Structure 1
């Protein structure tokens, strides 16, 4: 596939329907990976969420030919408290979504670069991409964007 040059900009109120479409498409893709871990959220709940946060959240959108085809959301994390042993650095989670027809064309890479700039502009010195090991495509995508292992997160179901 050839590269496209998306227009990147902060998300606006008028983008809410596109953000909902992106979140739901991403959810459907993840449910196919592992329905025991992922779900498709209620569309009305997703719409309410984006209507509440779109003005204050750190969400960038990618447009191709006037259509929103991807988004990156930066979620700032608090620095570790003084009593912990980690060096206090502001971090941010980055969540990227690109519609299937636009994957592999540079849209996601452009969104990740934009998310890094947004995170840095808000005081973050490190960005995280939390990926469940079952999502090999996401691991490959973020690895190609320069992300690498930082820690191991172990989990166990309770009960």
Structure 2
């Protein structure tokens, strides 16, 4: 069945909200200490603001038989400031979501290919896909598209400051 990938429009906001919430529920199952299901109204406002603003976030959607079944967000990052040691190279983060009933049908691959093209048209040279919980499916998906490790991200959880 044909997959249509296109830029998201304001009329897509309800579908984008549905995708974000479905993705959140899936991630909460992976690791409830890291992920949460956000407030529906906050998600709606976010997508309305993003689609109305000068694009720092590109959102593409995938339609199958007229239904939005996936999305990809490409978050354009700013170049490192002049005082930092990183070489300035235009970069972006990518977040891909496909509804459960449509995984394995090429929707994610179509979204990723369109996102890479859109990012390249904006001068993006590096795309990051952050995976913060043991998510073998996401690692397999991005790895099959040519993504690989780049450095190491270390973190440390701290106790909140005591009231005093």
TM-score by length of 2: 0.92
Pairwise CA distance, 1:119: 1.1
Pairwise CA distance, 1:53: 1.0
Q: For 1:82-121, what aligned pairs fall within 5 Å after superposition? A: 82-121=82-121
- Secondary structure of residue in 2 paired with 1:54: helix
The whole-number CA distance in structure 1 between the counterparts of 2:49 and 2:85 is 35
Q: Is the 8 A contact 1:25 1:99 kept in 2?
A: yes
Following TM superposition, where does structure 1 have runs of at least 4 consecutive aligned residues deviating by more than 2 angstroms?
none
Match of 1:31 among 3, 24, 28: 28
* Higher Rg: 2
Pairwise CA distance, 1:55: 3.5
1:71 alignment counterpart: 71
The whole-number CA distance in structure 1 between the counterparts of 2:125 and 2:74 is 13
Superposition CA RMSD, Å: 1.0
Deviations 1:48-101 (A, max 9, x none): 111111234410000000000000010001111222222110100011000000
Pairwise CA distance, 1:133: 4.0
Structure-2 change in CA distance of 1:133 and 1:28 (3 Å): closer
Q: Is the 8 A contact 1:7 1:63 kept in 2?
A: yes
Pairwise CA distance, 1:30: 0.1
The whole-number CA distance in structure 2 between the counterparts of 1:24 and 1:106 is 21
2:129 alignment counterpart: 129
TM-score by length of 1: 0.94
Q: Is the 8 A contact 1:80 1:87 kept in 2?
A: yes
Q: Does residue 43 of structure 1 match 2:40? A: yes
Q: Is the 8 A contact 1:9 1:61 kept in 2?
A: yes
Pairwise CA distance, 1:9: 0.4
Question: What is the aligned residue count?
Answer: 156
1:153 alignment counterpart: 153
